[in-house]
Chains A and B, each alone.
Chain A
């Protein structure tokens, strides 16, 4: 064979290799679904499997999605996976994301809409040892203040600003790691913590002075709900364009929200069963940690005065105004202007709640009372 024919052989092989890779139609669902079969739906989470997402796993395990005619696949997150971007690029049908971060992506052009505000309250706390006497945002002045950055720090910064502290000058900001050791060994005076995760980690550690686990009595916590700078967190986001043009997707959205809220109602009433579902799904966090997380997450959802998932205009406005006005350590705000277009809608969650009420599901959880969870060492 001459060199030339060899080259054309190589080109033919390369072409063959390329055609072996075919694109699937848009990556995700044609919302119509196969004839008569369930509609395939992909849900992108923010992080690995844990009780923070128990309602969705419960809706899969309990068959709520299947009953609604949906075949839901749950995609776990990773350190560099941005759920709202995955959604906007069309590789998922719905995504779970914090409202301020999702709004920031929206400002960058992501066409997404908040269709259900699952977490009605913020779970972010600032935790410190009791002897540091840090019980309000104003007490942070002059202290070493831990924060995660990457857009997770704005409630803290808004709280400090509101208390008359300049976060850039009056405190020493410390970048926090995944764990809470910096708080325990004194590198940080007040550490950022989610009440359903990092705060539990602290209570699972052994206090070297007593040889026993730390207790809530050892710590002070600042809640941004109490300080008035809380922002909306986990919400279900949908594709704005498909919401406005695709009747089948609108229908799927109502069904998805409805079945998800049914899952969350189940987890409210059966926290231990939901803990078991999450552990069975391969979470590497221990069982007592997951039960704590389930319980604390329930407290962020229930009771829901206006019905689970409903977006409250006042709380939404507070989130947006903090996102527009609060400057972080680099002097940036989350948003440069008010969100344009349909950033949120109660249209679908209202329908979902009506359907659930007709079915006799308690969607406000007025009688909900949290359990007392005992944590084991290391969360085991």
Chain B
């Protein structure tokens, strides 16, 4: 029942967005609205904001005029699937690294003092600076005898963004049991490992779930931006740039790829919600 309602609300929100888009096109000035050359409202003309149905129609048309060219919809879906798999790899890697770091920092005070500042600083380094470095290093690596693939660079960058919320959230979760609970474990003469498995890990779920959501969003954004940055072929990020190049004569085309990227974000968010339900049994309080 709850799920049906959320699907309905989600659909309604999409309808509202589309109505706002078309509504602005109706009332907005084709020239937009500027104060002292600073544009405050966008242009509403067809080349800046194509009609929703023009974009929808563009999905059904062939991507390029060459023979055997697939429709834009197929191209966008294929690219979104490619980016989804990279995001998943980046997310999994980021979660593993984040959890490992959190456990390490919880266990050793020294590790916490030494690592935590760098975990925070890592997120202030701009992605455009990391991307060429990762590609550069990746080009010289081989994993288990297999040469480095371009998508791996993208997954690494995606994971680089995803590990941060997990590391910080998980650490908070591991720290969350109160003194009484810790004292009880000590009274049982429980080892560090037993305390971790029986007390700290279950206690961390409430903090982990929101962190996993943030990590999922970060991994999708990381994947799309890294694809643009490194020019990795096949994904939705690169498709956005390639379609944007054609925007002058075909203004609806970039919007198809942007819609694909948005859909990818929604799908990932839905999957994390499903994960949330699966983890709920560890977290009866529903934090």
Give A residues with C-beta under 8 Å from B: 1, 3, 6, 20-24, 26-27, 47-48, 76-82, 85-86, 89, 91, 177-181, 184-185, 197-198, 201-202, 204-206, 276, 279-280, 282-289, 376-380
Q: Is the CB of B140 within 8 A of A284?
A: no
Q: Does B132 make an interface contact (CB < 8 A)?
A: yes
Which B48-84 residues have a C-beta within 8 angstroms of A?
48, 63-66
Q: Is the CB of B142 within 8 A of A379?
A: no
Q: Which residues of chain B are within 8 angstroms of A184 by Cβ–Cβ distance? A: 47, 248
A199–B39 CA distance with the chains assembled, in angstroms = 26
Contact of A77 among B128, B231, B246 (CB under 8 A): B231
Q: Which residues of chain A are within 8 angstroms of B136 by Cβ–Cβ distance? A: 86, 89, 91
Instruction: Output the least CB separation between A233 and chain B (Å).
Output: 19
Q: Is the CB of A3 within 8 A of B193?
A: yes
Choose among B31, B43, B246 the residue with the greatest number of A CB atoms under 10 Å from its CB. Answer: B246
Choose among A197, A205, A276 the residue with the greatest number of B CB atoms under 10 Å from its CB. Answer: A205
Q: Does B247 make an interface contact (CB < 8 A)?
A: yes
A379–B239 CA distance with the chains assembled, in angstroms = 16
Q: Is the CB of A78 within 8 A of B141?
A: no
A23–B242 CA distance with the chains assembled, in angstroms = 33
Q: Is the CB of B230 within 8 A of A178?
A: no
Question: A77-B231, A184-B47 are known contacts; what are 5 more A-B pairs with Cβ within 8 Å?
Answer: A20-B144, A179-B245, A284-B242, A284-B243, A285-B246
Q: Is the CB of B248 within 8 A of A20?
A: no
A285–B250 CA distance with the chains assembled, in angstroms = 11
Interface size on B, residues (CB 8 A): 45
Known: A48-B231, A80-B132, A179-B245. A6 touches B142 (CB 8 A): no
Instruction: Output the least CB separation between B44 and chain A (Å).
Output: 11
Known: A179-B247, A180-B248. A22 touches B132 (CB 8 A): no
A77–B227 CA distance with the chains assembled, in angstroms = 11
Q: Which residues of chain A are within 8 angstroms of B171 by Cβ–Cβ distance? A: none
Contact of A79 among B135, B191, B241, B243 (CB under 8 A): B241
Q: Which residues of chain A are within 8 angstroms of B239 by Cβ–Cβ distance? A: 284
Give B residues with C-beta under 8 Å from A: 31, 43, 45, 47-48, 63-66, 128, 131-132, 135-136, 139-145, 147, 191-193, 228-233, 238-239, 241-251, 253
For the complex of A and B, 8 pairs with smallest distance between CB atoms: A78-B231, A204-B249, A378-B250, A201-B248, A284-B242, A179-B247, A91-B139, A378-B249
Q: Can you list 22 A-B contacts with CB-CB less than 8 angstroms, sorted by A residue number?
A: A1-B193, A21-B142, A22-B141, A24-B142, A47-B231, A76-B233, A78-B228, A79-B241, A80-B132, A80-B229, A82-B132, A181-B247, A185-B31, A185-B48, A201-B246, A284-B243, A285-B245, A286-B64, A288-B65, A289-B246, A379-B246, A380-B64
Q: Is the CB of B139 within 8 A of A286?
A: no
Contact of B246 among A26, A82, A286 (CB under 8 A): A286
Instruction: Output the least CB separation between A94 and chain B (Å).
Output: 15
Question: Closest residue to A197 on the B side, CB-wise?
Answer: B245
Q: Which residues of chain B are within 8 angstroms of A22 by Cβ–Cβ distance? A: 141-142, 145
Q: Which residues of chain B are within 8 angstroms of A181 by Cβ–Cβ distance? A: 47-48, 247-248, 251
Q: Which residues of chain A are within 8 angstroms of B191 by Cβ–Cβ distance? A: 3
Q: Is the CB of B135 within 8 A of A81?
A: yes
Q: Is the CB of B241 within 8 A of A376?
A: no
A95–B206 CA distance with the chains assembled, in angstroms = 51
A204–B251 CA distance with the chains assembled, in angstroms = 11
Instruction: Output the least CB separation between A56 and chain B (Å).
Output: 16
Question: Closest residue to B39 on the A side, CB-wise?
Answer: A187
Q: Which residues of chain B are within 8 angstroms of A283 by Cβ–Cβ distance? A: 64
A47–B245 CA distance with the chains assembled, in angstroms = 12
A201–B242 CA distance with the chains assembled, in angstroms = 13
Q: Which residues of chain B are within 8 angstroms of A26 by Cβ–Cβ distance? A: 140
A286–B47 CA distance with the chains assembled, in angstroms = 19
Q: Which residues of chain A are within 8 angstroms of B232 by Cβ–Cβ distance? A: 78
